Structure 1
């Protein structure tokens, strides 16, 4: 009797594992045909490894000052040169990777659920609820995100947590609009209608039938938005509203190095290159995920 009762559960779990393996296999197969996307994934993987093992990888302390070695050009001893306080720029870039990854992940974990919840509720409920939520979204979208983030950061106070909150408050509207558009399509599908006929409650329809279908598009949009998050965080740091010195935040490093651009270019250029490569890697990964997860955007 116990065998009979457990065999359907085992069969169902085995079927789910089989589908998961098949999905992962298809994703890896598509990824193998995207060399540019694979490069983006490798760069991001390298950044994560660098962020985790920064104390082991960095050749010097990011905060130790040595004025006798101030503004040294790139060399074998200091691959990216030193800044005005004699600190090794490469070591500061390596430790700054932690701040960048932390900012991107924190903003994504805040923006994704909030934007998705607002979007699917507006698309599923419709009527006055949809109108109110979307008009509020349009109001937030009407302001330039950077200007709005600057206003929030200036009002709350400078700091890394402030930058994360400010970027999150301005980053959810595009996610909400995308989730609403997906919900308007999914809510009219046959399996949602069948679940409604079988007596599924609105909450069950919303979170078990509609929300999972919106997740791939939201993940792709979040990945594409990560480059913008990095640039906005760097802009806040450049203006002194992000992570505060002596934290090795890339935007703040560019701000402190702009005074030496003519004679000591490496002080500002090296963190600029780090921002460029990281933003480019996120864009490449976002484009690849869009091709893999959304067949409507598959390349010919």
Structure 2
């Protein structure tokens, strides 16, 4: 009888590709009604394209020094001016997009699954498991993320990879807390109780019934957290603990340009504008994703 019920449910359920296509179409229609959100996604799409075609887009080699052109203001020859070594700032910003996108993707790949797994395990099993995992989460949350990232980066050594690891070690607790809250609600749902009656194992319930329901909220939270992650990565670069010279990391560019801020403003302001636009785009995109994926937050 159980097999018959499963067979009937599979017959009534649309194929997975059709469900994915329908969800994407619905999200596309909702996104079309959000001009501001659409602009955020467009900026992020442009950044990804810039990162991919950086060699074709940059007019100069980002690391070639031309001391005769040092500290030139923005012009047709150098759209964003040059730095103290005569390097074209626009070209360095273009190549720096690669570092930013790499950092964001790497941290998302680490933080998303780790936070999701810890959160759903804590919320589903409860009891001592929940207490241990949440106390560990609270300990990490009790430290300012930037200070903790600085400590990890200093301990692991300067470099882009260590900066990614350091930020990841401090960015998972909010994701875990959110996933736990979602799991506490989902674990009492009727379909989870039905799965238990059918004899589904705890692992199957976690992976096939609870985790998929928590993924949309985790994606939204990750997107909203990207602005803070970008600022933390830029702060590590500013302090010399991120990508090392001559890599065109935006935080390191601001650090090198702060000495010329009064007379040659473009050296520090141009990478600052890049960080501002990228962070703003992630905030707008995350807010729009929340409205699309969670109707409780829909705008009136």
**Superposed, which structure 2 residues align to 1:148-227 within 5 Å?**
148-227=148-227
Distance (whole Å) between structure 2 residues aligned to residue 206 and residue 182 of structure 1: 12
Paired residue for 1:122?
122
Q: TM-score, normalised by structure 1?
A: 0.95
Distance (whole Å) between structure 2 residues aligned to residue 18 and residue 245 of structure 1: 48
Paired residues in the alignment total 294
Paired residue for 2:75?
75
Q: Deviations over 1:63-110 (max 9, x none)?
A: 000000000000000000000000000000000000000000000100
Paired residue for 2:144?
144
Name the SS of the counterpart of 1:140 in structure 2. Answer: helix
Paired residue for 1:131?
131
Distance (whole Å) between structure 2 residues aligned to residue 63 and residue 296 of structure 1: 49
Distance (whole Å) between structure 1 residues aligned to residue 126 and residue 222 of structure 2: 25
Q: Deviations over 1:192-234 (max 9, x none)?
A: 0000001000100111110000000000000001111100000
Distance (whole Å) between structure 1 residues aligned to residue 42 and residue 251 of structure 2: 24
Q: Deviations over 1:229-265 (max 9, x none)?
A: 1000000000000000000000000000000000000
* 1:23 to partner: Cα distance: 1.4
* 1:14 to partner: Cα distance: 5.7
RMSD value over aligned CA atoms?
A: 1.6
* 1:15 to partner: Cα distance: 3.5
1:26 and 2:19 are equivalent in the alignment:
no
Distance (whole Å) between structure 2 residues aligned to residue 139 and residue 251 of structure 1: 28
Q: TM-score, normalised by structure 2?
A: 0.95
Rate the CA distance shift 1:13–1:197 in 2: closer, same or farther, 3 A.
closer
Paired residue for 1:55?
55
Distance (whole Å) between structure 2 residues aligned to residue 288 and residue 72 of structure 1: 40
Distance (whole Å) between structure 2 residues aligned to residue 226 and residue 95 of structure 1: 19
Paired residue for 1:42?
42
Name the SS of the counterpart of 1:64 in structure 2. Answer: coil
1:84 and 2:115 are equivalent in the alignment:
no
Distance (whole Å) between structure 1 residues aligned to residue 19 and residue 42 of structure 2: 26
Name the SS of the counterpart of 1:94 in structure 2. Answer: helix
Paired residue for 1:275?
275
* 1:162 to partner: Cα distance: 0.7
Distance (whole Å) between structure 1 residues aligned to residue 46 and residue 11 of structure 2: 39
Distance (whole Å) between structure 2 residues aligned to residue 136 and residue 16 of structure 1: 37
Distance (whole Å) between structure 1 residues aligned to residue 146 and residue 171 of structure 2: 10
* 1:25 to partner: Cα distance: 1.6
Rate the CA distance shift 1:11–1:205 in 2: closer, same or farther, 3 A.
closer
* 1:24 to partner: Cα distance: 1.5
* 1:11 to partner: Cα distance: 6.6
